[in-house]
Amino acid sequence: MTKNQLQVVLAQIDPIVGDVAGNTRKVIVATEQARKLHAADLVVFPELCLTGYPPEDLLLRPGLIKRVNKSLQTLCQQVDDITIIVGHPLGEVGKELFNAASVISKHQITAQYLKHKLPNYGVFDEKRYFIEGREATIIEINQIKIGLTICEDIWFVEPAAQAVDAGAEIIVNLNASPFKQDKTQLRETEVSKRARENSVPVLYVNQMGGQDELVFDGASFAVNAIGEKCVQAVQFATALVPINISKTPQGIQLEGSLQPLMGELETIYQALVCGLRDYVEKNRFPGVVIGLSGGIDSALTLALAVDALGADRVQAVMMPSRFTAQISLDDAAEMASILGVQYRVLGIENLFQTFLHELEEVFAGTQADTTEENIQARCRGVLLMAISNKTGAMVLSTGNKSEMAVGYSTLYGDMAGGFSPLKDVYKTLVYKLADYRNSLSKAIPERIITRPPSAELSADQLDQDSLPAYEVLDAILEAYVANDGCFEDLVASGFNAETVAQVIKMVDRSEYKRRQAPPGIRITGRAFGRDRRYPITSGYTVTSTIE
């Protein structure tokens, strides 16, 4: 490129936490491709891309920092006639450790930036590990001055303004920004504000892929000096995103492609697929096994698993009891056939009877209750875990967020498993996602979607016998769990007081179950886990009205 022109590539890669050597190879490969395919002058990688994000307490291990330092040496040896910016931890464990970005060119580190704003809320706890930087960092390539920022910096006025005051004509922002509903629009709004405030373009690169509960959607983009989006990368896929930058008398001009963004349901569905695929792949499971009940939750979980991994890596098991309806058997078999997965039927009646026989003396003089229901669920859990142990396939738990919230699930039964794809998906959203999936191709038999939901653990059982209607339940849960609403406010907003009291009691009493649940994909801003941390043992009640 000539002076006053710059070819930048945003490298939207999928790192693996802790795999410093593997992540370094991904940086080298992406750099070579950016040079070859796009004649790149500058390649920008995501935040902490050498360690993956979030590395959590791996950052307390001096060995990790040693590997990062070796990686930087390797990159210096490899990078000559191109400039790259990579994110990584910098410093020494127990002393000063920074969330940093290094600029590498001509076989050396030519500049480094230390992140100013450290998020310490929700799923973020960077102040546990890092200390804040304070200085601006400006680099110049082809007579264009570039200011560096990292992730949270762009959500505040000061870091970008400080860079512009130091001479930056463009702001580059390295990110590891997890997906949640509506996050794409929030990012664009905030980044556009920084661009307009400082009259400079902003380039935003984000990683993609799943990491435990988190999923990163990529969706890198760039806005011009008046905050208009000029470049948009794909979502939920790795990508090299070229941007041609020209310095003209009218200011800095950006040219690149605008990939269409997905609709809301497609975005959520792809987040679940991506998170599930990466959890299985990065933990090296050969496949998954699912208890297929003929109900909506296991049906959606099966569809997600097939879309994430392929039918040949998915096993479905129907485990009927005396209470299982014939239509459940028929619908489960039909769905397994539609998707082409391995399918078997393992009855639990004999196991159930054996348990009841052995417990007959203990249960003498008592009436059947949820104890017998839970035994059935635990029989199924034992069978699924046995298949997992023998084949190596991971059990997928099929519970949704509504059930998880109120404890409508069985410990060591339907909660058994290594991963829970629907853990942050309310029941009402489960139905919408099922309809969405069927709009792509037939996957879930219509009767599974339209019939009333039931655990089928007792005669003529329906979910609504124990729970409010899901439309009401999910609205209360959103207010109480996601927004920390109190009893009085929920009642004042129009909810029935008795129903609110019932739901709050169930939520608060079920914390011990949620602590023992498998991890699951976070798609909202208040998922169970690190987003919402409540004590199990607590004398606090929301109001005496519900005691």
Q: What is the pLDDT of residues 333-392, one digit of tens each?
A: 999 999 999 999 999 999 999 999 999 999 999 998 889 889 999 999 999 999 999 999
d(CA 11, CA 85): 10
Q: Are strands 138-141 and 214-217 parallel, antiparallel or unpaired?
A: unpaired
Helix or strand or coil: residue 430? helix
Can you say which residues are annotated as belonging to the binding site for ATP? 291-298, 398
Q: What is the pLDDT of residues 5-32, one digit of tens each?
A: 999 999 999 999 999 999 999 999 999 9
Q: What is the pLDDT of residues 469-499, one digit of tens each?
A: 999 999 999 999 988 888 999 999 999 999 9
The confidence score (pLDDT) of residue 543 equals: 56
Label residue 546 by pLDDT band (50, 70, 90): very low
Preceding peptide of 421 cis, ω within 30°? no
Can you say which residues are annotated as belonging to the binding site for L-glutamine? 121, 177, 183
User: Where are the chain's structural domains?
Assistant: 5-261, 266-546
The confidence score (pLDDT) of residue 453 equals: 67
Which residue among the candidates 26, 47, 169, 379 is catalytic per the annotation? 47
Can you say which residues are annotated as belonging to the binding site for deamido-NAD(+)? 374, 403, 513
Element housing 507 (H / E): helix 497-509
Superfamily name with CATH number, domain 266-546 = HUPs (3.40.50.620)
Q: What is the C-alpha R_g of the chain?
A: 26
Q: Phi, psi (5° rounding) for residue 353?
A: -65, -40
For residue 47, indicate whether it is catalytic. Answer: yes
Can you say which residues are annotated as belonging to the binding site? 121, 177, 183, 291-298, 374, 398, 403, 513
Sign (positive or negative) of CA dihedral 432, 436, 437, 443? positive
Residue 1, both tokens: 């490129």
Whether the pLDDT of residue 461 is over 60: the answer is no
Q: 5-261: which CATH topology?
A: Nitrilase/N-carbamoyl-D-aminoacid amidohydrolase (3.60.110)
Q: Hunting for tokens 């905050």 — which residue is that? A: 227
Which residue among the candidates 26, 49, 126, 151 is catalytic per the annotation? 151
Helix or strand or coil: residue 278? helix
Residue 226 has a CB neighbour count (10 Å cut-off) of: 11
The confidence score (pLDDT) of residue 189 equals: 95
The confidence score (pLDDT) of residue 463 equals: 60
The percent of residues above 90 in pLDDT, for the chain, comes to 79
Q: What value does the mean pLDDT take over residues 465-472?
A: 84
d(CA 289, CA 284): 15
Q: What value does the mean pLDDT take over residues 141-163?
A: 96
Q: What is the DSSP letter of 263?
A: P
Which residue among the candidates 26, 49, 115, 379 is catalytic per the annotation? 115
Element housing 165 (H / E): helix 157-165
The percent of residues above 70 in pLDDT, for the chain, comes to 96
> What does pLDDT average to over the chain?
92
**Cβ contacts of residue 77 below 8 Å, gap of 6+?**
107
Q: What is the pLDDT of residues 413-433, one digit of tens each?
A: 889 999 999 999 999 999 999
Bigger pLDDT: 544 or 72?
Answer: 72
The confidence score (pLDDT) of residue 547 equals: 45
Label residue 462 by pLDDT band (50, 70, 90): low
**Cβ contacts of residue 457 below 8 Å, gap of 6+?**
321, 323, 372, 373, 374, 376, 377
Q: Phi, psi (5° rounding) for residue 396?
A: -95, 120
Whether the pLDDT of residue 545 is over 60: the answer is no
Q: What is the pLDDT of residues 213-269, one digit of tens each?
A: 999 999 999 999 999 999 999 999 999 999 999 988 888 999 999 999 999 999 999
pTM (2 decimals)? 0.93
Q: What value does the mean pLDDT take over residues 271-292?
A: 97
d(CA 498, CA 289): 40
For residue 115, indicate whether it is catalytic. Answer: yes
Q: Hunting for tokens 């619908």 — which residue is that? A: 331
Whether the pLDDT of residue 457 is over 70: the answer is no
Q: What value does the mean pLDDT take over residues 304-312?
A: 97
The confidence score (pLDDT) of residue 451 equals: 85
